[in-house]
Amino acid sequence: MPRLEISAKGQPTQIVEFNGPTLGIGRQEGNDVVLKDPVASRKHCIIEHRKGHFYVKDLGSHNGTWMGENRIVEAAMELGDSFRIGSTVIRLIPDEVNVAETGEIPSAEIVLDDDDEVPDEPPVTSSDPTLVATTLAVRALVGGPLARQLSTLMQACVTVPVPPGAPQVVKDVTLLNRKSEPQKPAAHSKAGEAFEALRQLLFVAFRTRATDIHVEPKAEVYALRFRIDGQMQSVGEVTTKMALAILNVIKILCEIDIAKRSIVQEGSFAVELPTRRVDFRVNFTPTMHGQKLALRLLDPGAVPTHFENLGMELDAVAELQRICDQDAGMIILSGPTGSGKTTTMYTALQSINATTRNIVTIEDPVEYELSNTTQISIDPVHGVTFATVLSSVLRQDPDVILVGEIRDQETARLAMQAATTGHLVLTTIHARDTIGTVFRLLDLGIESFLVANAVTLCISQRLVRVLCAHCKRPYKPDAKTVRKMNLEGRSFGSFFEAVGCKKCMGTGFRGRIAIYEMLLFTPAVRDVVLSGPTISEIRKAAGEWMFHTLLDTGYKKVIEGITTVSEVERVASMS
């Protein structure tokens, strides 16, 4: 039976099973679905299943049941359709596909638009019944011209758990051009096939939690790869004709010249999902065999709203929140590209009351739109740099300033002067760890007294992959590992290693979590910085405030069964 997806602003999405002929919805306890929306009536509406069809029927509610802009009394519903009660959106979605366990094949009608053109598919021949079932499920779930050209991750999209907020069906993916206008060409046309292929590709990217999509030209075909949990994974290969069609659709969405293929081109477009909008940053770069496409997904749903969701320990969360609540100070984050620095800064901004404080961000470029926040993109080509914008922003009466990156002495000096004159500043810098951040600032020519007085907290971070809960396997660590982790004489449970299963696409990991090193500028640390510090002197002074290295916090995640020793050492060895 289908299910209901219930989403409301500020509340987690709910999935409700539809197990009977009717399902009551309203604000009063006793309904099958109880809404917290104040607009809902006590008994607002019902959904009925009659003769294989579904209907939503309003029960004389005060504020009405709405489909689009129309207030309805009774209306038929198909899978994928939705209606609204106040700010609550209720959608009818297909039952979750679990081919590996049940072997059931979803009906193609639940995911394809009426005007979708589905090319003839070759028969599936294999002695493995699970492979046959999975392949057929992919065709039913994704369908269209792209499905039969791909393999590994296309099959994975029906065997892995559906991520929260991911589209349930392909028609949930609405393409928007750079002007945010919905795009849908005529059905049964060549352009229509290309648009549909792109929708399918993005659908699979959402379902597999990809953060980047790469379309790479080879001698005779194009390779498709996704970045999932920080690692590149092959999707498969498509014909040059199909790949070029997809690339041209993206160029049309970005409103860039489709005829030029020997130059670097950049742009952006967006996708509208039932629960949110997701922006895409686009880069075309010429290579030996043609233009390579890289798409970066900028999903606001991926930004945590609380520090605890980042993986921080409770004492670190409390300290960071205390600093974010201050009127002045400076928080500097360091780490390699893709280590989650921007996510941590955005989470910090969301912890600040934006209605009572004037928050301004200076970024390259703006990645996520924040409410009640002034966001500015730099443009170095036209002389709009971090330093020039920061000078102007300081005359805009800011309380909190986010500077995307400190790249030079001028930006560093301005940011520190702002921190010492009543502003809270958040920024990033290229440094190996927290102590390296101090020396990087000194190397830029910033006076030690300014560093000591301006900086409040340095954070260095990395992202480690989280073990798949479905297949991780316990083991007892050897004596060498115990010594390395300083666990001799201490009690601890089993460690876990990655195995790999269909739930995690064979990687042994699903998701990532951050590990942190935090250097609080206590009076002892400030004194050392003022006196011309050495690494050992800063480390000794920092030890007074529970200073833990990246390896320390990473090993703690190992002991807790969250990740592996090798995974921690892989990322923390960069420090």
Beta strands at 82-85 and 88-93: parallel, antiparallel or unpaired: antiparallel
Q: What is the CATH number of domain 3-93?
A: 2.60.200.20
Q: Are domains 3-93 and 129-301 of this chain identical in fold?
A: no
C-alpha atoms less than 13 angstroms from C-alpha of 522 in its C-beta half-sphere = 14
Mean pLDDT of 61-82: 85
Which carries the bigger pLDDT value, residue 464 or residue 50? 464
In 138-198, the DSSP E strands lie at: 174-176
pLDDT band for position 489 (cuts 50, 70, 90): confident
- Comparing 325-329, 357-361, 502-506, the range with the smallest average pLDDT is 502-506
Q: Is the pLDDT of residue 141 over 60?
A: no
| pLDDT-based confidence at residue 546 (cuts at 50, 70, 90) | low
Helix (H, G, I), strand (E, B) or coil at 255: coil
Q: Can you give the pLDDT at residue 464?
A: 95
Task: Give the rounded percent of residues in the chain with a pLDDT score beyond 90.
Answer: 53
> Does 185 sit behind a cis peptide bond, omega within 30 degrees of 0 on the bond before it?
no
Please give the Cα distance from 455 to 214 (Å, whole number): 39
**Buried b or exposed e, range 162-189, using 16+ CB within 10 angstroms:** beebbbbbbbbbbbbbeeeeebeeeeee
Name all contacts of 430-434 with Cβ < 8 Å and 24+ positions apart: 430/334, 430/405, 431/334, 431/460, 432/334, 432/460, 432/574, 432/575, 433/334, 433/460, 433/517, 433/549, 433/550, 433/575, 434/334, 434/458, 434/459, 434/460, 434/517, 434/518, 434/519, 434/542
Tens digit of pLDDT for each residue in 17-38?
888 889 999 999 999 999 988 8
Mean pLDDT calculated for residue range 74-88: 86
Share of the chain above pLDDT 70, in %: 87
Average confidence (pLDDT) over 139-151: 58
Residue 473's SS3 state is: strand
User: Hey, which of 18-22, 122-126, 138-142, 253-257 has the most confident mean pLDDT?
Assistant: 253-257
Q: What is the DSSP string of 291-306?
A: EEEEEEEE-GGGS-SS
Residue entry with tokens 């709405």:
66
pLDDT one-digit tens code per residue, 218-229: 998 999 999 999
Cα 74 from Cα 60, distance rounded (Å): 11
Give the mean model confidence (pLDDT) for residues 490-514: 91
What is the mean pLDDT of the segment spanning 265-273? 94
Annotated domain spans of the chain = 3-93, 129-301, 303-465+511-551
Please name which of 316, 310, 349 lies closest in space to residue 434, comparing C-alpha atoms.
316
- Give the residue with greater pLDDT, 412 vs 383: 412
Round the average pLDDT of the chain to a whole number and report it: 85
- The mean pLDDT of 548-563, rounded to a whole number, is 93
- Report the pLDDT value the prediction gives residue 105, as an integer from 0 to 100: 26
pLDDT at position 261: 87
Q: What's the confidence (pLDDT) of residue 81?
A: 82
Least confident of 97-101, 389-393, 421-425: 97-101
Q: What pLDDT is stored for residue 12 in this prediction? A: 79
Q: 202: pLDDT confidence band, cut at 50, 70 and 90?
A: very high
Task: Check residue 291 and give its pLDDT.
Answer: 94
DSSP string, 532-574: ---HHHHHHHHGGGT---HHHHHHHHHHTTSS-HHHHHHHHTT
Domain 303-465+511-551 has CATH 3.40.50.300: yes
| pLDDT band at residue 110 under the 50/70/90 scheme | very low
Rg (CA), the chain: 26
Contact 456, 526 (CB under 8 A): no
**Which residue is associated with the tokens 């991750």?**
153
pLDDT at 104: 32
Tell me the C-alpha distance between 320 and 195, whole Å. 45
pLDDT of residue 97: 39
- pLDDT over threshold 80, residue 264: yes
Residue-wise pLDDT tens digits, 407-463: 999 999 999 999 999 999 999 999 989 999 999 999 999 999 999 999 999 999 999
For domain 129-301, the CATH architecture is 2-Layer Sandwich (3.30)
Least confidently predicted of 175-189, 279-293, 446-460, 551-565: 175-189
Could you count the other beta carbons within 10 Å of the beta carbon of residue 322?
Answer: 12
Greater confidence (188 vs 209) lies with 209
pLDDT number for residue 121:
45
Mean pLDDT of 163-183: 88
d(CA 529, CA 331): 16
User: Which residues are CB-neighbours of 68 under 8 A, at least 6 positions away?
Assistant: none
Mean pLDDT, to the nearest integer, of 39-58? 90
The pLDDT, as a whole number, for residue 150 is 64
Mean pLDDT for the stretch of residues 403-407: 94
